[in-house]
Structure 1
Amino acid sequence: MAISRIHHVAYRCNDAKETVEFYQNMLDMDFQLAIAEDQVPSTKAPDPYMHVFLDAGNGNVLAFFELPNSPKMGRDTNTPEWVQHIAFEVESMDALHAAKAKLEANDISVLGPTNHGIFQSIYFFDPNGHRIELAANTHTPAMMAELKRVAPEMLEQWSQTKKAPKHADWLHNGQGFPGSQH
């Protein structure tokens, strides 16, 4: 099997119109299409829905379902709210700062930028409570090569100990990439 890309990623929303308008106005996404049915095509369950699709750039599609007959949506209370999120890439740090200013000018609380060593991010919530991350890459090819090199060993160590391996602690320890000039 050869996966060519993610076709779309779908989440639930409280209100399809409000959600589309948020992503159009705050993140400049184009509203691509809507599908609405009274019956779920795959299961044949009688469950009306509105399914909306937004262009997240480069062929990436973000979709939402509004389900008016289902109980009010919630979140997995056993998972911290910072874990599940949708991360979008922006082209530069200037774009990241401009996005933060735009969001804050629209009364949206924004956390960051947070420096992750290979990218910097800001975080905020959409009207449905989904955590959104905007990330601007700051990495070099050498950084990415080193992270790829140590990934299998880190995963194996984690699998055995459930303690954070230190192979890539340079990402957040403030000392920077070992191969870079200071």
Structure 2
Amino acid sequence: MTALHPNGVNHLALSTRDMKGQLEFWCDVLGLPLKALYWMHGVDGTYHGFVELAPDSYVAFVQHPDNAKDVELGVTHAGGPGEPVTAGTMQHVAFNVDTFEDLMALRDRIRDRGVQVFGPIDHGFIQSIYFAGPEGLALEVACGSAIPVEQWVDPEVQDLCGISTAELEALKQPAEFARPAEPVPQPASDTGMPRLMPEDHYDMVMNLPDQVVWDRMSETTPPVAAD
């Protein structure tokens, strides 16, 4: 049986107050084609934009009218690939290219557009370059795959994280899941578990039947008719 787990990033959604500026950077500096730009479904006054990394992987942007404009390093943004930032926020994001030659070619494209690039650096299992994006983004491009876990789990760091030998083995080999014949019901609300949205109306929204959510909230009509 094939292991069941997410197999990539369908889209990474980044907050913005300047959709045009973000699209110009990602399309011109990084060479990613624009694929979608429309009113975000179910969110009043909010734009959604998508640029393509691959046919099944995108970077998306969300321009909400109430997005805050202030960047506070160490709180809202890290400001660098090794700097502190509030837990649960994006410290930095790294995108993939296939080869080291591709990495060097992309470094030169980025520099050609006037953006400074730090690197390359060889981290052993990946090689990376680093640069900044609009609105305080800390970005990386890397090449490399198939990390040899036996070589890259440091026992000292494992101990500092409070991970036992048994727990480590469970992390390296997650339990398989056999989907039951009937859908798994929504678990009871538990404030100790991650929550998708603020408390207002949380339980009401999360306890809507799946079919009701599908029927009422799906929107599949493109804003522009096909030729």
Compute the TM-score of the two structures, normalised by the length of structure 1.
0.69
* Paired position in structure 1 for 2:31: 28
Residues 1:80 and 1:15: Cα distance change in structure 2 (over 3 Å): closer
CA deviation string 1:73-130 (max 9, x = no partner): 4245246422511211111111111111111121101111111111110011112221
* Paired position in structure 2 for 1:114: 121
* Paired position in structure 1 for 2:185: none
How far 1:71 moved relative to its partner? 2.9
Q: Is the 8 A contact 1:36 1:51 kept in 2?
A: yes
Q: Which residues of 2 match residues 18-167 of structure 1 at below 5 A?
A: 18-36=21-39, 41=42, 47-57=44-54, 59-75=56-72, 77-78=74-75, 80-81=78-79, 82-83=81-82, 84-137=91-144, 144-147=148-151, 150=153, 153=155, 156-160=158-162
Residues 1:4 and 1:73: Cα distance change in structure 2 (over 3 Å): same
Q: Is the 8 A contact 2:30 2:109 kept in 1?
A: no
Q: RMSD of aligned C-alpha atoms?
A: 2.8
Residues 1:62 and 1:73: Cα distance change in structure 2 (over 3 Å): farther
- Asked which structure has the greater CA Rg, the reply is 2
User: Match for 1:159: what amino acid?
Assistant: C
Aligned residues: 150
* Paired position in structure 1 for 2:180: none
How far 1:16 moved relative to its partner? 0.8
How far 1:35 moved relative to its partner? 2.6
Compute the TM-score of the two structures, normalised by the length of structure 2.
0.57
How far 1:23 moved relative to its partner? 1.0
* Paired position in structure 1 for 2:216: none
Instruction: Report SS of the residue matched to 1:56.
Output: strand
